[in-house]
Amino acid sequence: MTHSLSCPRCGSQHLTTRDYARKAGRAVGTVAGAAGSAAAALGGAEAGATLGMIAGPVGSIFGGLAGALMGALLGGAAGCAAGSAVGEQIDTHVLDNFECNACGCAFSQQHLS
């Protein structure tokens, strides 16, 4: 039997999730991941510049930029995923993540049990 969620105050099933912690976790995780990958980005830039030397000085510049960009993007993406996962757990177990569109009541699934 599937139990659909309804507002504990008015019984409406017109609900939205607020996802505050997930959104904040994504933002913080992205920034932290990109910043944390600074060393990797610099290493990637160095490797890209070395490989780009085959094409001359211009290749070295573009290779360095591409290596740095890839390092920052990968770190930011990993941080975003990790932050989102942590935020989802906080939304689910700590915060009142559901909001009733009819009466504005905020509640969590634990309040329904």
- Of residues 1, 14, 2, 3, the one with CA closest to residue 105: 14
User: 4 lies in a domain?
Assistant: no
Q: Write down the pTM of the prediction.
A: 0.72
pLDDT in the model for residue 1 = 35
User: 8 lies in a domain?
Assistant: no
Collapsing DSSP to helix, strand or coil, 25 comes out as: helix
For residue 79, the enclosing domain spans: 16-112
- Strand-strand pairing, 106-107 and 15-17: unpaired
pLDDT in the model for residue 109 = 83
Instruction: List pLDDT tens digits, range 6-38.
Output: 999 999 999 999 999 999 999 999 999 988 876
In the predicted model, residues of the chain with pLDDT beneath 50 are: 1-2
Number of structural domains in the chain = 1
Other C-beta atoms closer than 10 Å to the C-beta of 98 total 21
